[in-house]
Amino acid sequence: MPLDRARTVAPVPLRFEDVTQDGRLVLEALPSALGPTVWHGVRDHDKAARSCMKHGVVPILTRFVLEGTAGPFSANAPVEAEGTYRLSWADGVPPDGRRLMLDVWADLYGTIGRTYPPARRGPHYGERALAGRVLAEHVFTRPFAPPGERRVTRLDFDGAPDIRATRPAPPSFGSIAGIPDGASPLEAHPRLDPMLITFGLVHTDSNMHVNSLVYLRVFEEAALRRFVDIGRGAALLGRAIDIAYRKPCFAGQTVRVVQRAFETDGRLGVVARLVDEKDAANETALATARPHAFARMMFEP
């Protein structure tokens, strides 16, 4: 998290299912820190952000980078988050040009402990500790404008804010879904997960498409199936993910995961893509598919 940004501190409610049997927070619980800190905290007081949204220029989530820690934490103990954000122009590649982005960070903190405390407490029991980190990247767009007018490469409406901060372009989809440098692939080629995944209304939200957190569970469950297939077992937990969203999925849609397992520094991981069922019909279709999401996920026992 940047040290030079104003921060908001707020409590984060946890569900019982957000904490595993060994006291670690699941990755999909971490973005819940953004609501009480950034979305209902700092952002509501930023004139530039309010001006953009008033004129139909809206931030759309394009990428999550999440990391969970070892803990342990109790499902009944309070969790607190510190959140901040930044509006800036990202370097672009023609013909798209630069893009206006909203970067959001949050650090979650909890108290070391257990939901059902053991008879003997550890040396750090009761201490405040980092529970996880969140980075969320958003690209501003005009979602209700006609096609061809939705990209935001400049702010040209009356009263537009003067945003001068800049940042590098986000990583490419290919780099996110590529085996990291120094890692050892555990299979020669990406493999198609046998499970058909069908989205229903239960997977959607008020943005009228599948919620971004649903993809985290889809990728993690597919990875566990892959680890079992290659003899590595399923007693593993996702501890970090870099996931980029290219285009949304909708209720009624059926998709497949294409993934490849690897190992680095003794940790297992997968790189994966989410494609339409029709694009998984054969190797030719898969080679030309335009995935909905791309991910690299790391696991620990």
Distances (CA, A) of 224 to 36, 87, 147: 32, 37, 40
Helix/strand/coil for 188: coil
Task: Tell me which fold the domain 173-300 belongs to.
Answer: Thiol Ester Dehydrase; Chain A (3.10.129)
Distances (CA, A) of 127 to 109, 111, 131, 133, 283: 10, 5, 12, 18, 53
Taking phi over 0 as left and psi of -120 to 50 as alpha, with beta for the rest, 233 belongs to left
Domain boundaries, the chain: 8-167, 173-300
pLDDT values of the chain reduced to their tens digit, one per residue, 301 residues = 776 677 899 999 999 999 999 999 999 999 999 999 998 876 667 787 778 888 888 899 999 999 999 999 999 999 999 999 998 999 865 456 788 899 999 999 999 999 998 767 878 889 999 999 999 999 988 888 888 888 888 888 887 888 889 999 999 999 999 999 999 999 999 999 999 999 999 999 998 999 999 999 999 999 999 999 999 999 999 999 999 999 999 999 999 999 999 999 999 999 999 999 999 988 888 889 999 999 999 999 9
CA gyration radius, the chain: 20
What CATH class does 8-167 carry?
alpha beta
Give yes or no on whether 8-167 and 173-300 have one common fold: yes
